[in-house]
A and B are shown apart, each in its own frame.
Chain A
Amino acid sequence: MADANTPKPSSSVKLVLLGEAAVGKSSLVLRFVNNDFQENKEPTIGAAFLTQKCNLPTRTIKFEIWDTAGQERFASLAPMYYRNAQAALVVYDLTKPTSLIKAKHWVAELQRQASPGIVIALVGNKLDLTSDSAGSAEVSGDGDDNAEDSGDARKISTEEAKTYAEEEGLLFFETSAKTGHNVTEVFTAIANAIPETSLKSARGPGASHAGASRTEEQRVNLNGPRDPNAKEGCAC
């Protein structure tokens, strides 16, 4: 998908991922950037930085993704990362009610502190653990008693999260980084939601001169680490 043959206007978008620890932020990014999944992913220390392009019919968006650490105490570092971000992915775990609360906190934080006009997407991850993992966004009851039996670990109904997202004006998706379900869609939707105006002003000079050096640098990131088993995604 990184194929950009036709000279379409290209611009960078800074995107930050926020959310409780172990909801799958890094895995989402890994799926999006490398189309890969690791069962035991090292926790992100501070933040990891990755890039990936997203081709839209009219333009190319290059995401500069800041994948932040999720543990509560790292929250005070977050402003460092969401500074100047044009988009944010606030992730929660469909099987963990507390993670949605945390996600709401992040949304509130972003709405007040981040750059105005930031595009926020609320993402419920780990859809593969729920019974409707096929993707049909069917609403299952909250805290269903026999949920465990039927293999449905879902604790947060689609309806609940969706309602909240609509109230706050957020994009909303349920994804599975493991199966890849809906992952690209999230990023495409964000790319589409970024207003044209903010693109031009955002990183104008860098984007225009992107040319050769950019593609090269991107290859570095896209090809990932020198060996597939090595740790991945940490910033440096």
Chain B
Amino acid sequence: MLNLSSFVQKAQQLLDPTQGLNLTDSDKNPSKASLFQSQFRLPDSQHPLYEITAELTIPPSNVTQGGKNDQDRGFHYAGKLHLSEAYLCFSTTPSSFLQSASTSTSSAFTGQTHGGGPSGNGFTFPLSSIRRVERLHSQNFQFALAITTWNGIGQDAPKDLKDRKEVREQRITIQLAGTRVACERFCDGLKKGLRAAVGNVGKLKKVIGECYSEYLLRPEEQKGVNPPDAGLGMLFRYPGDPKKLRDRAKMRLWAEYLRDNGRNVTLIRQPTFHKLIRVGLPNRLRGEIWELTSGSIYLRLENPTLYADTLAKHSGKESLAIDEIEKDLNRSLPEYPGFQSEEGIGRLRRVLTAYSWVNADVGYCQAMNIVVAALLIYMSEAQAFFLLSTLCDRLVPGYYSTTMYGTLLDQKVFESLVERTMPILWEHLVKCDVQLSVVSLPWFLSLYINSMPLVFAFRVLDVFFVEGPKVLFQVGLAILRINGEELLDATDDGAFISVLKNYFARLDESAHPKSENPKLRAVTKFQELMVVAFKEFSGITHSTITELRLKNKDAVLNNIESFAKRTAIRNLGPESKLLSTDELGAVYDRFYGVLYERQQRDLIIKQEEARRAKSNRISRIGQVVDEGNVEKGRVGLGPSTSLMDYDAFREFLAGIAKWAVSDSPTQSRRDTGSSNGGGFYNSFRKNESSVSPWGNGPEPADHEFLRRLFRKWDFDSSSALTLQNVVTGLARIKGKRDIMGTINYFFELHDDDGDGKVDREGILRMSEALLFLSRRGLEGTLDRPTAPNGMMTEGGMVTPGHEVPDQSINERFLGSVSAFIRRCFEYADPDHPNNQNTQQEQQTQTTSRQEDNLISIDDDDAAQGLADPDAFAIGDDDDDFDDEENDDDLLGLESPTASPRMAKRPDTATPSSLQPPSSLHLDPSTAPSSISNPNDEDQRRRVSRQQSEKANIALDPNNPLHITLPTFRMVVLADELLEQFFESSFPCSFHLVEGINMSTGGSSSTSGASSGYGGLGNTFSNIGFFGAGAAGNNAQQGAGAGRGLRGVLDNIVTDGMRVAAEVRRRMEEAQRELEKNALPGQQGRPGANRNGGDDEDDDEDDGGPVEGLSLGGGHNSGSAAGGSAAGSVMDGRRGSGQVRSSDRDLLTGADAEASDPTAEVSQVQQGSGVPGGSGNGAGSSSVPAKVVGVEFDG
């Protein structure tokens, strides 16, 4: 029964060396689904569910073409019948999309198709267009189905029987060839699909109502109604001379074909169909056939109102794309009268605008205006809108993207093809340094519309829509081939271009004007072009193109990316000059790298979710994922986003700064196998292991400091960072390399309202941030490392084994931060004038306790300063005027280099401006002197005139206080370690170029020596979270064990415990001290902490650490909560796995389910005489024992 042509096809398939190559340029491993969608031009929502070998029989009445068919028995086609969610497709191109099928059988249609187009002969019926399916008796007990369609549903219902005859029922039969089980499974699937499709008949009616064929095939007496919109041509005439185009004859042929083979969605493709397309479509049907052959009608069917809805939804809005569109509206095919009118321009505007909304990534690209203008001559706005979508997504992917990578790629492909097929011409081009693409690029970009006279460009489009992008290449090659000799004479771009320009201008002339043969003389240059293109270059197939696209893709993308990078970096503005080119380049790469990877992961995760959801719903498809877009986000492809949200920002930082890596990753399980592409689709088990939301990189921390940094960098408060924002942000920290700048920056970061003051909370947050930033150790140049001393040693907690210099610095830093808090409170300004008054009064009473060394400048004093009982006097930089004068002089003498900025006190307008003069001068003098301290004595005398009793005021929440930038600066500079931190350590902690190497995140990768830092930080923050050191330790251990650390675990825990104990001790002291001094209201507060070891160290801790720590635990609590969430996610996953497998059981038993007796809408009727439709017994038993089709009106 197989007919000859299919044998031929099969044979050619075997011979075609490019078989088995891939289809989409974006994926080396196109999914079966995407191949299926390409072959039948179906929307992305469709997946191959069932397929079966079958033979299509078109009854004699429908056969209008002669050929070698048996007139009595109709026309037969052997091929494959496919079923998707909403379509029943048949093609003589025997490709298979089953899971088990090899790639070569799936991509079989990409070979030579002999003008049949990838979908071959056959049909693509939306299930909603099928009116009835009957199972026929057949001699061999084979399955045979008779399918009746809703052909002509768009017409008014015939009033009587006589009229009914006018509308010929379209009825075809399909004989399934397969095992009984396979056939039944297919039929059950079909039945389900049909049932689901019933609701869509309304949509179908609406869609085909806009098809001109419906009007064309109306009986004469019903033609009173307005014909559907077949483009601007109906109003402004179609281009070209209709007589010369033989439009009427073509129309008659088409009317006949459509009458016999179904129209629009119910059309059956037979060889004549393709022949009719090759000779050029008639004007009024052109739009509809384009829509059909490109598959955009199926998009329209899926969402018929999308166009109108989009316009309505965005009406009145503005966008960059709209501005660009407006610029070009008046200059799109301006020679066509329709586009000199408001009507035509209005349509063009609406279609382009609507598309720019639905596909904001593409927006608007010049050349789209020309293409859409051309489409609008032949089709309605909605039709053009959907066809534009199909063009951009499928036919010429990437042509109009923001980087135009598709255009550039296809130019490379075209060049390779020229080199391959016309080596002499190619050599000539190379020799003359003529760049082919400067000539050919506009051909492709405007689909020849801009290059050839319109009438001919449309003929190219006719074939292009049915046969795909290879047509553009075939025509291009043919142009060069035909003009080969003249081109060999041309020696530069100019000559080359003018040869071709001339040629295009004379396409309508005879190709052989001097020929004796009148027939030959009648052949135009255009006809010759088509013949050369499709005969001589018939070897150029979809596979050829795909293969070459894959081959050139990386080079093209790399080119674009390096260009984009170059341009972006150059345009970053003056701030960026603070960073080196290498650093900028690295930031650029990291910025887009993070965005790209995040999108990839998102996509994979979404796909997994989708698959999970799908596999719960439908049957036996392991793979329903369209991988076509897996590379979304790559810069070269036109980044779909260039904005970094907070999570991406964290990930970005975690790549360059150690402190931004989380200590306690929430996701302990990381299945690396799952993230490497398509390999895992086939295994259900693997599917369950989700990709980590952070990919393979370390999990970033989430700390208040990060949020502040993000907000600070987010210059325009858009909740997203541009590359510019990131570069500016980094440049301000890393670029200036001046300590004052960094200190100011840090202060501003915590000055929420920008009034130049940081309150109590802020001070605590600052110290938290300092601990956060230093918890993995300090980097940069730390001068003069001194032996550990002070409190750590006193506490007796230092384990001898850990006496590493680094570590001691780190421990000292802990002390520094502690002192920082203390001093901040010491020197803070009260917020209320009342308090100030009080303080001043008090101050006058107690003027001279100057001997206390509050600001301990030299190293050795540092620890003592901490231990100094009097150090807890609350700071007040209110000095008497004598001192002030003194300082003034000092300033003038000692620090002439102080930057002018420092002379300005930021908050002169605030209540605390009572004291401005002193603080004004105090700070700059402190700055330099604290480094090289020649005037210790002065300072001490000056700053330490304090009273410890004032602690009460400072600690009392009812007495708000704040520090100003000068105070902050002073406090920082008073401590060598802090100073070094701001001078070098903090800026150095951003490793822009080299990045950080923390493969698994957490502290597991820190080396032995530094392992303590992680523990240190952890412990610290854990305390904050749990409120007590013991709990912190537990958590620490828990977290550590959960992470499954290597041998360093013990060290960390030991260190952690040690530090935790130390901190606890200090907290308890603070508590005690608090209780001693506290106002009544404060007494009961952190009572739980009171089991204190007594300590001779009189540190009158001010409650700062306690509060600070409990405040600062945020990130840790977050991660702990995350941890438990992760646990439940894992449970959930297991659960869903079970659900899925049970579903699968259900689905394999779908046969049984399908026999649902309520299926009165069941369109697949089984002849009851046929025994053993196993599952269907119940359903059919309720129906009389004859073949009955259930009809329903949509």
Contact = CB atoms under 8 A, between A and B. Distances in A.
Interface of A: 12, 21-22, 39-47, 49, 51, 64, 66, 69, 71-77, 79-81, 83-84, 105, 108-109, 112-113, 203, 206, 213, 217, 220-221, 226, 229-231, 234-236
A22 B330 CA distance: 12
Contact of A231 (B334, B498, B566): B334
A24 B492 CA distance: 26
B437 interface: yes
B335 A236 contact: no
Contacts of A234: 442, 450-451
Given A42-B334, A73-B401, A217-B495, A80 B366 contact: no
B890 interface: no
B315 interface: no
User: Which residue, B332, B335, B502, B560, has most C-beta atoms of chain A within 10 A?
Assistant: B335
B7 interface: no
9 contacts: A40-B330, A46-B445, A51-B494, A64-B494, A73-B365, A74-B404, A76-B408, A105-B571, A203-B492
B327 A22 contact: yes
B332 to A, nearest CB: 7
A230 B494 CA distance: 20
Contacts of A71: 324, 365-366
User: Which residue, A46, A105, A230, has most C-beta atoms of chain B within 10 A?
Assistant: A46
Interface residues of B, number: 52
B846 to A, nearest CB: 62
Contacts of A236: 439, 442-443, 451, 497, 500-501, 504
Interface of B: 324, 327-328, 330-335, 365-367, 369-370, 401-404, 407-408, 433, 435, 437-439, 441-443, 445-446, 450-451, 491-495, 497-498, 500-502, 504-505, 560, 563-564, 566-567, 570-571, 638
Contacts of A206: 491-492
A73 B570 contact: no
Nearest to B559: A76
Contacts of B570: 105, 108-109, 112
Given A75-B567, A76-B408, A77-B404, A46 B451 contact: no
Nearest to A71: B366
Nearest to B432: A206
Contact of A80 (B333, B437, B567): B437
Given A45-B370, A64-B492, A73-B401, 6 more contacts: A42-B331, A203-B492, A217-B495, A220-B501, A236-B443, A236-B500
B497 to A, nearest CB: 5
B408 A77 contact: yes
A73 B406 CA distance: 12
Contacts of A80: 435, 437-438
Nearest to B330: A40
A226 B370 CA distance: 21
Contacts of B567: 75, 105, 109
Given A42-B450, A105-B567, A235 B442 contact: yes
A76 B366 CA distance: 14
User: Which residue, A75, A230, A235, has most C-beta atoms of chain B within 10 A?
Assistant: A235
A236 B571 CA distance: 34
Nearest to B339: A40
A230 B404 CA distance: 28
A43 B439 CA distance: 16
Contact of B438 (A41, A47, A231): A47
Nearest to A22: B327
A45 B403 CA distance: 14
A49 B499 CA distance: 13
Contacts, number: 124
B334 A46 contact: no
Contact of A21 (B327, B330, B404, B497): B327
Given A73-B401, A80-B437, A105-B571, A235 B366 contact: no
Contacts of B497: 49, 235-236
A213 B496 CA distance: 12
A41 B331 contact: yes
A230 B505 CA distance: 11
A217 B369 CA distance: 31
Contact of A42 (B332, B491, B571): B332
B366 to A, nearest CB: 5
A43 B449 CA distance: 13
Given A43-B369, A81-B438, A236-B451, A49 B494 contact: yes
User: Which residue, B331, B334, B366, B505, has most C-beta atoms of chain A within 10 A?
Assistant: B366
A40 B367 contact: no
Contact of B331 (A43, A51, A83, A213): A43
Contacts of B494: 49, 51, 64, 217, 221
Given A40-B334, A73-B403, A230-B335, A45 B564 contact: no
Contacts of A231: 334-335, 450
Contact of A69 (B366, B437, B451, B500): B366
B324 A21 contact: yes
B78 to A, nearest CB: 45
A49 B438 contact: yes
Contacts of B333: 42
A93 B217 CA distance: 54
Nearest to B453: A230
B640 to A, nearest CB: 14
Nearest to A81: B438
B577 to A, nearest CB: 13
A221 B327 CA distance: 27
Given A71-B324, A236-B451, A76 B563 contact: yes
* Smallest CB-CB A-B distances: 5 pairs: A46-B441, A40-B330, A46-B442, A45-B442, A22-B327
Nearest to A229: B335
B498 A45 contact: no
Contacts of B502: 220
Contact of A83 (B328, B402, B435, B450): B435
A46 B399 CA distance: 12
B355 to A, nearest CB: 15
A85 to B, nearest CB: 12
Contacts of A42: 331-334, 370, 450
Contact of A45 (B335, B446, B638): B446
